[in-house]
A = this chain, B = another copy of it.
């Protein structure tokens, strides 16, 4: 049966990427060896790493602009710690925007290293909107925000202007839309939404911002150490980097961020229109802050739940359950999700 995979992450990847990844596990580059049993120092794998990091900068339009792309390990969760370690001065402070669980986890780790100012929070409304109109004090070492909030289905549309450093966790919407990425000083993202399998973490950092704290940084947490070794200070997560490279190649062939943004807008519009026009459903997030990656919605009549869940299951829909803290449903419609799968879901909503 054809499955429609609305999982929030790890999540859908392009079918042709999965096919190539599967083949490489048996025979990589016609070497008669598996991708996962060759040395990461071999020419064949070094080329994969180079290609992947180049594609990142090219797709974000950050080539020749003083940025380095790194593939690391530990997910966004380890970045929550690495960001303050690398950017927060001894007895320094940082400003955080609190838009949900992931922001809260990020600022918790920063608190272990210095002072944290929460410039604004939407916790009062269970994070169903993005706070706006806040001030960022000019004496902080950096400002941190989370661009897309998977659990609540909210997304930052306009990023604040700040004189200081702008740091963004883009784990769940990187490569989904065109932005002026040069407004950011550091971007990080776990691979497992729009990029590849869990196990790789992308960091894109402006070189000139590093090495300016007096802090002693452990080797594995030091961006400059990883930069000096081209993401190979230690053995990289070979498979996850390779699959990320394949996905980035797929994205480039599709026309890059401009093309994928159009598709993503059309996909989101199709689903949000049904939510707004069907009296059996309502959206969970503030309209102006709605995410184009994670569409959260609720039934207006709970008695329909059993029937709707059964219809979804029979249609091969996977991963539609909302997060326990919001309830209802969450359709994660990342880059690789075809509009046809969203149409299947919308048709069921109409039929209910």
Contacts and interface: CB of A to CB of B under 8 A. Distances in A.
Contacts of A31: 3
B36 A25 contact: no
A109 interface: yes
Interface string A266-282: 00000000000000000
A257 interface: no
A23 B318 CA distance: 20
Contacts of A109: 218-220
Given A5-B33, A22-B26, A36-B10, A81 B235 contact: no
Interface string A1-44: 11101011111110000110111011000011110111110000
A73 to B, nearest CB: 4
Interface stretch (A60-68, A190-198, A293-301): A190-198
A199 B73 contact: yes
A200 B36 CA distance: 12
A125 interface: no
> By DSSP majority rule, is chain A's interface helix, strand, loop, or mixed?
loop
B10 A18 contact: no
A65 B73 CA distance: 31
Contacts of A236: 198-199
B37 A5 contact: yes
Interface in A73-87: 73-78, 80-81
Q: How large is the interface on A (under 10, 10 to 19, 20 to 34, 35 or more residues)?
A: 35 or more
A164 interface: no
A345 interface: no
Interface string A228-258: 0000011111111001000000000000000
A112 interface: yes
A293 B148 CA distance: 47
A37 B10 CA distance: 5
A199 B32 contact: no
24 contacts: A3-B33, A7-B38, A8-B39, A9-B235, A10-B38, A10-B238, A19-B26, A32-B316, A36-B197, A36-B198, A38-B318, A73-B199, A73-B237, A74-B234, A75-B234, A81-B221, A105-B219, A192-B235, A197-B238, A197-B239, A198-B237, A199-B199, A199-B238, A237-B237
Interface of A: 1-3, 5, 7-13, 18-19, 21-23, 25-26, 31-34, 36-40, 73-78, 80-81, 105, 108-109, 112, 190, 192, 196-200, 216, 218-221, 233-240, 243, 316, 318-319
Given A75-B234, A199-B237, 16 more contacts: A3-B31, A5-B37, A7-B38, A10-B39, A10-B235, A18-B25, A73-B75, A74-B234, A77-B220, A80-B220, A109-B219, A112-B216, A199-B238, A237-B240, A239-B239, A240-B240
